[in-house]
Structure formats: C-alpha cells, structure tokens
Structure 1
Amino acid sequence: MKQILAGDIGGTKTVLALYQVSDDGLKEVKKSMFASGQHEHFEDLLREFLGSATQIDMACFGIAGPIKEQRCITTNLPWTIDALEISQSLKIPKVHLLNDLEAAAYGILQLNQFHELNPSAIERAGHIGVIAAGTGLGQAVLFFDGKKHHAMPSEGGHCDFAPQSLQEDQLLVFLRERFKGHVSLERILSGDGFGHLYDFLKASGFAQVNPELEAKMQTGDRNALISQMGLEQSDPICTEALRLFCRIYGAEAGNLALKVLPLGGVYIAGGIAPKIRQALESGIFMEGFLDKGRMTRAIEQIPVRIVDDPEAPLLGAAYFAKVSLKD
C-alpha cells in the first residue's frame, strides 16, 4: 500500500501527517504538530517526524511563502525548502511544494461545513477566492474550467493597503512612518496587525489607555490579548482595533471578489477567522466587503464563508499528493 507525506508549513507552526492511500481514500497513519521556529532546518523536522518510516511514495507541502521552480525561501522563517533536495536526501520519489494558500484552496474542496457571512448569497458554480489572515496574509484563486477547479497561488497579501475613510488615511500615514515606506495589507491583516492597530489608536488619542492592560501586554501574547479584549468589548482601544481589522479584512475580501468574480464564493481561511468569528459575523466585515460603490451589485450575491477547519491546508496537500500519484 502506497504512503504519502503531507505538510502544512506556517510561520508559527508546522503540521505533518503520514497517510496510506487506498481505493477508499486516505487513511491517516500518523500526525504531529511542531513549533516551526524551534528547528533550524526543515529537513531536521522531517527526520524527527518520520523516524523509522521508510516507504514514502509522494510528499507534498503547503508552505507560507512564494514557490519558484519548486524551491521556497520562507517568508516568516529562516528556511530554504527545495523539493529536489528533500527527494534526494530522504529518498522520496516525488516531492511537490505548494504555496500555503494553494494548499488551503485544494483543502476547501474537501470540506462541506462553513459559516456563511452573506445573507444574500446565491449558490452557483464558478471560480473561488480564498483569503487567509494568520501569521501573514495569503490569497489564492480556484479557477473553474467548467468541470473542476485548479488552484492558482498569489502574493496578494503584499498588495498596497488602500484606505477607505479619514481614519484609515491616518492609519496609512502612521504605518508608512513605522515601516519607512510601503504599507502592505499584511501589516494590518495578520496576527501582528492587532498590535499595529492598537498602537495607531493609542497614538491618535482614540481613548484613554488602561495601565493594567498595558502591563499584561508586556508578559503575554499582545496580539491575542488585544483581539480577546476587543471581542469582550472590555477596552475601547481594543474594541476599535478589532472593528478596524474586520472592516479592512472585509474590504480586501471584496477587492479579491472584484478581481476574480468568484461566483463559487469567497472563503475566509487562516488561523484568525475562527477566533474572531463573532466579530466577523457582526456585519462589519460584510460592510467592508460590499462598500464598492457602483460595483457593489457585481459581488453582492457571492457567498462569503468562514473556514473553521484548521486542517484545510494539510488536507489540500494530501489531496494534491494523492491525485499526483495517479498521474
């Protein structure tokens, strides 16, 4: 029985799984999660996971970073991952690298449970857009050829942030000074984005600062604390930071919808969406999504869905490996 190795390689964590391939599908043999930053080289992590496992027929990894000629210099990790080197070093006949959002897009095709944000959504066949805020911001497209979908990766998360209000104009000026020039959407729509939004609101005098909260930020996960306090609406600056995050997230999802016209839907993946689902469902996300002036009508019936299965990229990598074995 053939075996495949699949991986979801992110800036924060890496998940690896070993599967047996049968006519009925994939049977999980082993799965582990690792803190990505604790390993100097990706191959060290692979060897630790595989242990004595020897028969691997195909490996596929979804990676947070651009893939060029099956080689990736990761965006948020000090790793260079090369498919050919892994194949030769670990004696795996076929190794393929996917962009992490490309893998997530394939994974979405394997799922059937989502949380719909657009009450006016109409179910139709067509292209699918995927946007995912996590350690960074990823975007991908599932092109529909009339019979099946094909994933297309992108680096759309690094596109320019486009303000849509006076407050967002001021945010752009603040971030441009902080980053000495170009301000990408990833600076806002990522884990670190909550901290940048909080700092902006604090500097602009939006509300009085809570000294106890500031003290907690020195010892804990600052971004998680800001988003949690925003969800609880227990601090005005955090509440506004979360509102801004959702509004800008929705606006960029709407931009993706205009570029792709994904009648099959826009899917909100990544690690942040499930954690702030309550805020995304409040209406502010869809307000940003639909604020497109005269072109609102072009996207107002597109499904907009939260993906809350964290294994979508892993499932997508495994699916790609399984299909590739048959080719």
Structure 2
Amino acid sequence: MFRILAADIGGTHSRMGFFELHSDGMSSNVSAGADGLRLLDVARLRTHESLSFVALLERLFSTPQPFAPAQCDLAVLAVAGPVRGDICTPPNIGWNVDLRDIAQVGFTRGALINDFTAQAFACRSSAVVDAQVLQPGRDHELIRGGTVAVIGAGTGLGHCALTPDGLGGYVPVPSEAGHAAFPFVGEEEYAYAEHVRRTAHLPYCHGDAIVTGGGLSRLHAYLTGESLTPPEVAERLPQSPRTAEWFARFYGRAARNYALAVMALGGVYLAGGVAAKNPLLVEHPAFLEEFRSSPSHSELLCGLPVLLNRNQDSGVHGAALYAAQHLLRQG
C-alpha cells in the first residue's frame, strides 16, 4: 500500500487530498474504475492566507491529518502555473513553488505538475462520473482511445490535453494557452477588445483577461456599467442576458479552438469554478453554437463529446491518479 498527498494549489483555493493506493494484484493500468485509490480526506485552504509555499504546507499539518509527511510515499503538487523542472511561478499567486522545499516539512519524495495536468488526469478517474453532458459524442470507441482536451475558466484560463500512452496509462500535454492572444470577431467585439486592452494595460487581450472570473466582471461592467465582483455578477446573470450570451460565446470559442488544436477526439471537458458555479454560462445556446461554428470542421465539432465537470475536488483526484501511474511503474 502507498500513501499519496495530492495537492491542487490554485490562485484562490488549495485542496489537499490524502489517498491510499492499494496495488495488490494490479498491473500498470491505472485507468478509471481500476485505479486502486481510496480517498481518506480532503483539506481545503485559502491560498492567499499563506505567505509562502512552505507556510501553506505548515498550515495544512498544523491540524491532525490522515498521515504525516514522513509517512507519505509521494506528494504530487498540482499548481496553477507553468512548471519548469522543480519550480513553478504561478501568475495568480504571490509566491513561487519549489519542489525541494517539501523536505522542510518532512516529505521525502514529490512531483510538481501544472494544475490542469491534474484536471486532465481527473477526466480518466471517478471524479467525472457525474459530469454533465452538454453534447454527447458519436463514436464511443474513438472517445476512449482519443486525446482529451480540458479547459477551465477560474482565476485563470487553464488548458491541458491527455493522450493514451499505449501502455494503459496517459501522457499529459500541459499548456499555457490562456496567455495566448484571444480571438475576437466583429466590430462590437473589436470595440470590447480595445476597451480591455486599454483599461487593463495589456499589449494584447489573452484568455486570462476574457474567459475567467475577472473577465466575467470586466465584461459585465462594459455591457451594463455595473462594477461587480464575479459572485455578484453570477447572482445577476438571469437578469443580465447580454453578459451571459457574450461570455458563453467567448467560452465556446476558447473551447472550440483548443479542441481543434489538439484534435480532441476523446472529448472536451470544462473544468474550473466559473462554469461549475454558474452552469448557465455553458448551458446557454451561444456556447455550443460557437463551439460548433467552423468553416471547415463543423461536422467534426458536432460529434465531439463536451462535458461539464462540476466536481470542485477533481484536481486532487487527478493528481492522485498521476501519482498512482508513477508509483506503479517506478515503485
């Protein structure tokens, strides 16, 4: 039996999952439903209440947990930012994550991954069994063997693809596409793009400025003149049809472009807090209309499964599945 700490460290919340991996009689296949993982508990902390990565871990273990750091076989840290070796510099967190620092609290072995790598692995775990189907797929054999695209609006706009490795596991393809230029269409959208670029002091508009919680507030203020927080905008969405329609269209465009970029025959999963807490934004007809819109590949896009993952703890399940694959292959 192995013990795993699976951490999902986001710009707003950090979730820490404690798992046991029972590997008796298992092969290296760690696919969903046969991963041998048992969740013991999930601790939830507000990220910005800690002044450093080490302080976050010290807060976690300042209260009793299912096991201590020294008893952990592998700590997998999924962080909302680009990972370069043992270091991640998250754009929406005030401190860096250095994997080597885990030794200060007693861990002996760890791995550092992007938070959407964890979200991608979660799509092949039990975390998505209740995912809401927005568009069913056509070829289920193709779906199981195809590349999965995960995109999620939260504090930032995360992306990751997951492709089968031919050995019963998966290879993640992390991405920072949320920082790439966002495409706008038509004079109304061009005017909004220039407004965002100018008021946010950006050289160009990127997905993190448009399809995020902050982007929702920015869009609502532009369309209505009301300056509200994302939760306040969410409360008013039923009475703010233009805000809902524009945001749904932008989200559908971002999802379509990523699905085409990675040829997501395995399906498209929407993650992140914006849609999970406000499903109206992706249930709106403008979302799928935009997702399916293509001068050359509309038929392909209409056949891809699109699902909404509303499980806010899915990142810890994905990080745990990543850990399981690593432990079962490398011991």
The bucket for the TM-score relative to the shorter chain is 0.7 to 0.9
Q: 1:30 and 1:113 mapped to 2: Cα distance? A: 20
Is this contact kept in 1: 2:5–2:76, CA < 8 A?
yes
1:91 aligns with 2:109: no
Q: 2:165 and 2:49 mapped to 1: Cα distance? A: 42
The aligned amino acid for 1:76 is N
The aligned amino acid for 2:274 is I
Aligned to 2:12: 12
Q: 1:151 and 1:89 mapped to 2: Cα distance? A: 29
Aligned to 2:116: 101
1:166 aligns with 2:210: no
Q: 1:140 and 1:57 mapped to 2: Cα distance? A: 26
Is this contact kept in 2: 1:121–1:304, CA < 8 A?
no
Q: 2:55 and 2:151 mapped to 1: Cα distance? A: 30
1:226 aligns with 2:233: yes
1:267 aligns with 2:294: no
Is this contact kept in 2: 1:127–1:149, CA < 8 A?
no
1:75 aligns with 2:97: no
Aligned to 1:304: 306
Is this contact kept in 2: 1:58–1:94, CA < 8 A?
yes
For 1:211-245, what per-residue CA distance to the aligned partner results, in whole angstroms no more than 9, with x for missing partners? Answer: xx76xx4xxxx211112211x2x2xxx32112111
Q: Identity over aligned residues, as a percent?
A: 29
**How many residues matched?**
306
Is this contact kept in 1: 2:137–2:306, CA < 8 A?
no
RMSD: 1.9
Aligned to 2:42: 31
| 1:20, distance to aligned residue in structure 2 (A) | 2.5
Aligned to 2:214: 192
Q: 1:178 and 1:113 mapped to 2: Cα distance? A: 40
| 1:3, distance to aligned residue in structure 2 (A) | 1.8
| 1:74, distance to aligned residue in structure 2 (A) | 1.5
The aligned amino acid for 1:114 is A
For 1:239-280, what per-residue CA distance to the aligned partner results, in whole angstroms no more than 9, with x for missing partners? Answer: 211211110100111111111111110111111112222342
> 3-state DSSP class of the match of 1:17?
strand
Q: 1:66 and 1:297 mapped to 2: Cα distance? A: 34
> 3-state DSSP class of the match of 1:117?
strand
Q: 1:42 and 1:30 mapped to 2: Cα distance? A: 21
> 3-state DSSP class of the match of 1:169?
helix
Q: 2:274 and 2:289 mapped to 1: Cα distance? A: 19
Q: 2:270 and 2:51 mapped to 1: Cα distance? A: 31
Q: 2:291 and 2:86 mapped to 1: Cα distance? A: 34
| 1:121, distance to aligned residue in structure 2 (A) | 4.3
> 3-state DSSP class of the match of 2:135?
coil
> 3-state DSSP class of the match of 2:178?
helix
The aligned amino acid for 1:43 is V
- 1:144-293 matches, cutoff 5 A: 144-146=164-166, 147-180=168-201, 181-202=203-224, 217=228, 222-230=229-237, 232=238, 234=239, 238-293=240-295
| 1:119, distance to aligned residue in structure 2 (A) | 5.1
Closer, same or farther in 2 for the Cα pair 1:55/1:149, shift >3 Å? closer
Is this contact kept in 1: 2:169–2:325, CA < 8 A?
no
> 3-state DSSP class of the match of 1:294?
coil
Q: Which moved more, 1:109-118 or 1:167-176?
A: 109-118
Is this contact kept in 2: 1:70–1:82, CA < 8 A?
yes
| 1:120, distance to aligned residue in structure 2 (A) | 6.3
Aligned to 2:27: none
The aligned amino acid for 1:136 is G
Q: Which moved more, 1:43-52 or 1:178-187?
A: 43-52
Q: Which moved more, 1:45-54 or 1:186-195?
A: 45-54
1:64 aligns with 2:80: yes
Unaligned stretches of 5+ residues in structure 1: 203-208
Q: 1:115 and 1:264 mapped to 2: Cα distance? A: 16
Instruction: Give the TM-score of the pair, scaled to structure 1.
Output: 0.88
For 1:88-138, what per-residue CA distance to the aligned partner results, in whole angstroms no more than 9, with x for missing partners? Answer: 323322110110000110111103332222256443231111100011100
The aligned amino acid for 2:100 is L
